[in-house]
Structure 1
Amino acid sequence: MTGHDIEGSLAARILDALLRENYAGLRRFIEQKTLRLPHRPVRLLQACPAFLSEFVVDPAQKLRLSDVFTTVHAVADPRDDTAAFERECLDALATAKLHLDARPAVHRRLARLPDELRTGPGTFYETLAAYNDHPVHPTGRSRAGLSMADLSRYAPEFAPSFPLRWAAVRNPELAGSPPGWWPGPSDVGLAPGLGVLFPVHPLAVRQVRERPGATLAPDPYLQVAPTLSMRTVAAAPLDHLKMPLPTATLGLRNRRTIMPGTLPDGALVERLLRDVLQREPALPVLLADEQTYGHAQDPLLGYLVRRFPPETARAHIVPIAALLAEAPDGGYVVERWDVEALFDAYLSALFSWNVTLFRYGIALEAHQQNVALVLGDAPLRLLVKDNDGALINTSRLRERLTPSPGADPRDLIDRRMTTSDDEALARVFVTITLHLCAAAPAFGLAERGLLPWRTGLSLIRERLDDALGPVDAFLRSRTLDADALPGKAMVTAGTLVDKARTGAADINKHYGPPGPNYLLDATCP
């Protein structure tokens, strides 16, 4: 693929997203499968399958980002942040070109790793996943404010390792006990008594140095490797470490610092999920332990220690985002296993877990990065982490479960995580569990010739139907029997239009026009 091919494909994906979200009423320019823009016509194709949209932009017509920018300027409100949008698109293009150059060498390095170094919750599959596009957001490769040199040194797709920096922080709030590999003051060149040591990502050093409540240590300590999220690193065989990163991904407003309240909130939701698993022991799910953290009421001074269960130590831990990635040994990651059997078992686990949670009034924002397959000698299980984006209907929860001390959602700091509206829960279930975790992989398998769409779709319908019982009539009506399905407006809310005008309390739960229900369509092969 050439640079022009990359730009044409990216431009088509961005226009697809803007049409899907109907940004600034863009759909009004559609006439007879043509998007009649002020400066040029754009051919549209009937989508087959109609995943999220009935039409897609024909990628073969040599579009350029300049066509996208001209379109946006023609329809944008003067208050829209078109400059940030353009930077995001250009960053995504530059990163995609960098990936094209770097991937062969990275794959050669990874191909030399013996199988035992590909297991456990390390970074092997995370690195491979980082070369894939986000299934919905077209500029997912953009990381605002970071240079290409920054990415080469610290981004997961380049499989680097680097030493962490540290800072002594005065009067922080702490939970849990730090792991044994945590440094002492002398390890990082500090005198004792200056405060509690917090990890600092090298890209955040300049900002942390300016914080009045922190003393940056002169010496680095602990060699780490980035995971798919980049701000989280593998620090030990069963430990990851999450730190603030001064960038934004999936939109300018999706900052990758750490808001202090997300740490206790995520820990509370994890405890709640463990209560559910105690009552539902047959569910094939493992949870990461996220009870150890610290923060100083500053988005750039915080950390989370993520501990993985011992069952993951010798298994292949494959994020859903990695299944469709190219493997360094040839083919795709998913082809290490029987594709149809694996997808079937995965869907069964995915829907049994998330439908059960829905009965308890819980919908997780557990997307492809936060759900992994645990593949070893035991039957397939899901590994779930990072629960601070959950949505909980507290009334529904109390009907099924008396919250234990420390796991009461009424104690959540972010009140946006609670609702009394099952429609809101269903939207999270559909846009995350159904769209991103089930249908997007099925669509990708079909695109790569690994599993026909009709087969993948049948598996989705059958496994969802298996999971839905007599008490799940509402969720069935919003999925298998729905006339249309909700979709997120990620580009609109994430970058172009501010919260005051979208009305989005949470930009990650802002929805655009509904799309076709692909679950009902049996016409596409």
Structure 2
Amino acid sequence: MDRVDLMPPSDDVGRRADAYAAAPLLNCLLREVARPLPGSGEPRVYRLPGGRLLRVRGGRRQACPEVRVAGAWQPLGHADLVKLVADELRGHTGLSNDELPVEMTDSRDAVAALLTARAGATPPDDPYLRSEQSLITGHPYHPAPKARGGGPVAGWLPYAPEAHARFPLVLLGVREDTVVEEGDTSALDALGTAPPGYRLLPAHPWQLGLVGRDLAPAFADGRLVRLGTTAFEARPTAAVRTLYEPRADLHLKFSLDVRITNDIRRLWRHDLQRLRRTDTAVTRAFAGIGPPAAWLSDRGHRTAGFAFEELAVLVRDGLRGHLLPGATPLLAAGLAEGFDGDPLTGAADPAAWWEAYLRQVVPPVLAAFADHGVVLEAHLQNTLVAVDASGTPVQALFRDAEGVKLLPDVSRAAGWERLVYCLVVNHLTEIAAALAERHPGLDPWPAARRELARHDLPEITALLTAPTLPGKTNLLLRWTGADGADARYLPLPNPLVGA
């Protein structure tokens, strides 16, 4: 189901796209630079850095923005909101940025294209894939979560998870003397047949279209050959460049030379070169933690030496070997956004459901940190929660070694700050808010406090008593041109205090 608080009462795609795109942009603006006026009720009034007043309605997804002009409230469409944000940030930071406003507009236009495509598309029957392909809003605290690099819609829509896309992979043969690989890549050889002297390399058709011109010499001299396409169709997951092939129960992560949220989504050489060390450390940690918690291993990668990053593909575990019998995995981000049949909406006892959720998600993350020096990137998009036949959470599965940090590569303090942001601010706060929104009267934070307090870490006392938690500043990060991996935090009110 498509959700935006206070959706305009119209089926017009343009107005719906404006509402979807405005919600995360407003969330960023209000979190990072605006200040609420004391005593303002609903709608809430904020003062912007330049002195203007902004009024919004809604709860966890802000909506219906209005700016005060000449003593009256003037509604803002998405284009007006983008201009307002850019004006405020120029004054607030002293910096100009011509790129981000374009991305904000691109994100809104992408939402319009996705809404149109979804109206004529058939959602997958598999609840796991439905959850992966449900994110129309996307990251709730990013100014342009659905931007797709500014290219024409026809170039990216066939590969969009939000449009319920499915497509075959392109199969390439890479001359054996140019192959670079590490770890277990045997699953790739089962996708087709390579001619003598070549190794099989699947390619994402979108990425191949983006970098194809640069590969022309390799096709010309025989280092690369085209071998057709797979007999099966893969499904893009929420990460866009990571695909799931249900028949083989296999995840494949590709390079994609497109900026999505904060980064160009290439498989960068430096990340691939440290992947085995990181994944081995996490795999060992989960062996120590034990079931039912599970880690989806990034078990190996393969590429061509002459196009190391452009053609890299990473092999990730599937689901079936990790799941409890009868359990159905669901993307945590999909639970926060909502989709047809999600168990959070239909929970008969939401308090018990939430306690079960916390029991599965929180302990493995804390144990990995405390006992094994592993900082999981346990945010909404890297966490799967498996539910039983009644919809009750019974297992958590975590993924993406690229985002994992190891102690002492980072200090314990820096690792803990990242853990708190990913697990509590990005993840638990969103699930708690979605649960409270769908089940009015429920206060989710006492249960969260009890679960965290069960764990004997020296940092827990401060977590439960500190007035603030670290919130990532995606709007300012993008406006100032900081590296996407250079997280910057600002203090947010801590809902655990006094819960």
| Coarse TM-score class (shorter-chain normalised) | 0.7 to 0.9
Does residue 444 (structure 1) correspond to residue 449 (structure 2)? The answer is no
Contact 1:260–1:295 (Cα < 8 Å) also in 2: no
Query: In 2 relative to 1, CA 328–516 (structure 1 residues): closer, same or farther, beyond 3 Å?
Result: closer
Match of 1:257 among 259, 266, 277: 266
1:520 equivalent in structure 2: 497
Does residue 284 (structure 1) correspond to residue 261 (structure 2)? The answer is no
Alignment length (residue pairs): 455
**What root-mean-square deviation, in Å, do the aligned CA atoms of Structure 1 and Structure 2 show?**
3.3
- Between the aligned partners of 1:18 and 1:458, the Cα distance in structure 2 is 29
Match of 1:354 among 358, 365, 376: 365
Does residue 496 (structure 1) correspond to residue 482 (structure 2)? The answer is no
1:259 Cα deviation after fit = 0.8
List per-residue Cα deviations over 1:117-176 (Å, max 9, x = no partner).
x26xx6232122x23432322421222134322343111112222121133334232121
1:325 Cα deviation after fit = 4.0
- Between the aligned partners of 2:59 and 2:336, the Cα distance in structure 1 is 19
- Between the aligned partners of 2:394 and 2:225, the Cα distance in structure 1 is 44
2:397 equivalent in structure 1: 383
Q: Tell me, what secondary structure is at the counterpart of 2:230?
A: coil
1:38 Cα deviation after fit = 5.7
List per-residue Cα deviations over 1:91-132 (Å, max 9, x = no partner).
1111222333333443xx338x3xxxx26xx6232122x234
List per-residue Cα deviations over 1:45-81 (Å, max 9, x = no partner).
8x978x9xxxx78646632332432442354279956
What is the letter of the counterpart of residue 113 of structure 2?
L
Q: Which runs of 5+ in 1 are unaligned?
A: 187-191, 395-417, 500-505
Counterparts in 2 of 1:130-149, with a 5 A limit? 130-149=135-154
- Between the aligned partners of 2:36 and 2:46, the Cα distance in structure 1 is 11
Contact 1:209–1:216 (Cα < 8 Å) also in 2: no
The normalised TM-score by structure 2 is 0.81
- Between the aligned partners of 2:89 and 2:376, the Cα distance in structure 1 is 35
2:158 equivalent in structure 1: 153
- Between the aligned partners of 2:299 and 2:261, the Cα distance in structure 1 is 27
Counterparts in 2 of 1:351-500, with a 5 A limit? 351-359=362-370, 360-376=372-388, 380-394=394-408, 418-419=409-410, 421-447=411-437, 449-450=438-439, 452=441, 454=443, 456-466=444-454, 468-469=455-456, 472-477=457-462, 479-493=463-477, 495-499=478-482
- Between the aligned partners of 2:271 and 2:48, the Cα distance in structure 1 is 44
Contact 1:485–1:514 (Cα < 8 Å) also in 2: yes
Does residue 201 (structure 1) correspond to residue 204 (structure 2)? The answer is yes
List per-residue Cα deviations over 1:403-458 (Å, max 9, x = no partner).
xxxxxxxxxxxxxxx11x222112111110011221111112222x235452x112
Contact 1:12–1:63 (Cα < 8 Å) also in 2: no
**Identity within the alignment, %:** 22
1:40 Cα deviation after fit = 5.2
Query: In 2 relative to 1, CA 425–475 (structure 1 residues): closer, same or farther, beyond 3 Å?
Result: farther
Contact 1:324–1:333 (Cα < 8 Å) also in 2: no
What is the letter of the counterpart of residue 445 of structure 2?
L
2:181 equivalent in structure 1: 174
* Stretch deviating more after TM superposition (269-278 or 307-316): 307-316
What is the letter of the counterpart of residue 89 of structure 1?
M
Query: In 2 relative to 1, CA 463–225 (structure 1 residues): closer, same or farther, beyond 3 Å?
Result: same
Q: Tell me, what secondary structure is at the counterpart of 2:336?
A: coil
1:507 Cα deviation after fit = 2.8
Contact 2:278–2:406 (Cα < 8 Å) also in 1: no
Match of 1:93 among 105, 108, 114: 108
List per-residue Cα deviations over 1:211-269 (Å, max 9, x = no partner).
35552516222422211112111223411111112211113xx0111113323533322
Compare the two structures and name the one with the higher strand fraction.
2
Query: In 2 relative to 1, CA 513–44 (structure 1 residues): closer, same or farther, beyond 3 Å?
Result: farther
1:489 Cα deviation after fit = 1.4
Query: In 2 relative to 1, CA 160–513 (structure 1 residues): closer, same or farther, beyond 3 Å?
Result: closer
Higher relative contact order (CA 8 A, sep 6+): 1
Query: In 2 relative to 1, CA 154–35 (structure 1 residues): closer, same or farther, beyond 3 Å?
Result: same
What is the letter of the counterpart of residue 85 of structure 1?
L
Contact 2:452–2:460 (Cα < 8 Å) also in 1: no
Q: Which runs of 5+ in 2 are unaligned?
A: 1-7, 67-73
1:210 equivalent in structure 2: 214
Does residue 219 (structure 1) correspond to residue 228 (structure 2)? The answer is yes
What is the letter of the counterpart of residue 116 of structure 2?
D
Contact 1:487–1:514 (Cα < 8 Å) also in 2: yes
Contact 2:20–2:137 (Cα < 8 Å) also in 1: no
What is the letter of the counterpart of residue 335 of structure 2?
L
What is the letter of the counterpart of residue 302 of structure 2?
G
Match of 1:295 among 289, 296, 303: 303
Q: Tell me, what secondary structure is at the counterpart of 2:258?
A: coil
Query: In 2 relative to 1, CA 375–68 (structure 1 residues): closer, same or farther, beyond 3 Å?
Result: same
The normalised TM-score by structure 1 is 0.77
- Between the aligned partners of 1:71 and 1:161, the Cα distance in structure 2 is 36
Contact 2:365–2:375 (Cα < 8 Å) also in 1: yes
Does residue 320 (structure 1) correspond to residue 332 (structure 2)? The answer is yes
* Stretch deviating more after TM superposition (432-441 or 358-367): 358-367
* Stretch deviating more after TM superposition (315-324 or 261-270): 261-270
* Stretch deviating more after TM superposition (223-232 or 64-73): 64-73
Counterparts in 2 of 1:105-120, with a 5 A limit? 105-106=120-121, 109-110=122-123, 113=125, 118=126
1:311 Cα deviation after fit = 4.0
Q: Tell me, what secondary structure is at the counterpart of 2:115?
A: helix
Query: In 2 relative to 1, CA 496–443 (structure 1 residues): closer, same or farther, beyond 3 Å?
Result: same
Match of 2:488 among 499, 503, 511: 511
Q: Tell me, what secondary structure is at the counterpart of 1:246?
A: strand
